[in-house]
Amino acid sequence: MTPLTPDEIPLMREACVLAADTLAYLGKNLRAGQSTEELDRLAYEYIMDHQAVPAPLNYKGFPKSICTSVNDCICHGVPSSEVLKEGDVINIDVTCLKDGFFGDTSRTFFIGEVSDRAKALTQCAWDSMMKGIEAIRPLGHVGDIGFAISKYAGRRGFYPVRNIGGHGIGKVFHEEPFVPSFGKKGKGEVLQPWACITVEPMINETSAPIREFDIPNSEIKYYHTSDKSLSAQFEHTVLISDEAYEILTLPSTEE
């Protein structure tokens, strides 16, 4: 992880707010009958209109501007002609590259009315992310975050994904450390003041193994639950400060 200088922090803030604003914009424009490709186009246009670039586009060969992961898709779903229908849950993951800095955020949305089980899982994914974030201390450890996430999700009877997780972020999209959704307090890499990480637990409905799929001409893989059960996820980019932490991917208040 690379601490930011005082001059760099405002630029990082801008990239993160734009990512959050993009996600809020997509949320407002989300409806049954729409394809995930239409969401991708809305995201591309919104981000380009704000003097930034959608970071996933052409990243390691990824073909689209956002990730759209529907129902049993765990992450890195590729926008397509797949049409959203009432009762779906969809994670939309937005990363903006603005003035040399990356802001990365995602959330799980409901299409119309969803099952109680989907609501409980999605609430658990949000709460697990917040528990993970609240465990951040400067000079603490990534294991503190993972411990908090897995303890919370486990108590609710859900299953955090172990081999995919958060990451350092700043002038690069993905850097050390890996931020796991499991772990032991006081273990793992040290959290450096003024560096940024993402906290992005993926929470599954069952303990079924996850399945990895190739994306043509890309190093990026996408993942599904092997038993078609649901998966939900939220992601924030967080600045570690000298006293605590600050969530950077909050939307601006102006409309």
Contact footprint for Co ion (CB under 5 A):
93, 104, 106, 198, 235
The interface mask with ligand MF3, positions 127-156, x = CB under 6 A, is ------------------------------
Q: How far is the CB of 110 from ligand MF3 (least distance, A)?
A: 20
Confirm if 23 and 105 have CB atoms less than 8 A apart. Answer: yes
For ligand MF3, the closer of residues 5 and 93 by Cβ is: 93
Q: Report residue 241: phi and psi, to 5°.
A: -100, -170
- CA nearest neighbour of 143 among 153, 132, 152: 132
Query: In angstroms, what is the minimal distance from the CB of 114 to Co ion?
Result: 22
Bridge partner residues of 247 (DSSP): 238
Nearest residue to ligand MF3, scored by beta-carbon proximity: 56
Choose the one of ligand MF3, Co ion, none that binds residue 220, judging by a C-beta under 5 to 8 angstroms depending on kind.
Answer: ligand MF3
Rule CB under 6 A: say whether 59 interacts with ligand MF3. yes
Instruction: Name which of 208 and 220 has its Cβ closer to Co ion.
Output: 220
Please check whether residue 194 is in contact with residue 83, taking contact to mean a CB–CB distance below 8 angstroms.
no
Query: What is the dihedral sign for C-alpha 108, 19, 189, 245?
Result: negative
Q: Please, where are the H alpha helices in the chain?
A: 9-28, 36-49, 116-134, 142-155
Residue 72 binds which one of ligand MF3, Co ion, none, with CB within 5 to 8 A depending on kind?
A: none
Please tell me the number of Cα atoms within 13 Å of 209 on its side-chain side: 2
Q: Which is nearer to Co ion, 163 or 207 (CB)?
A: 163
What counts of helices (H) and strands (E) characterise the chain? 4, 15
62 binds ligand MF3 (CB under 6 A): yes
- Choice between 21 and 104, CB closer to ligand MF3: 104
Contacting residues toward ligand MF3, per CB under 6 A:
56, 59-60, 62, 67, 76, 93, 95, 104, 198, 200, 220, 235
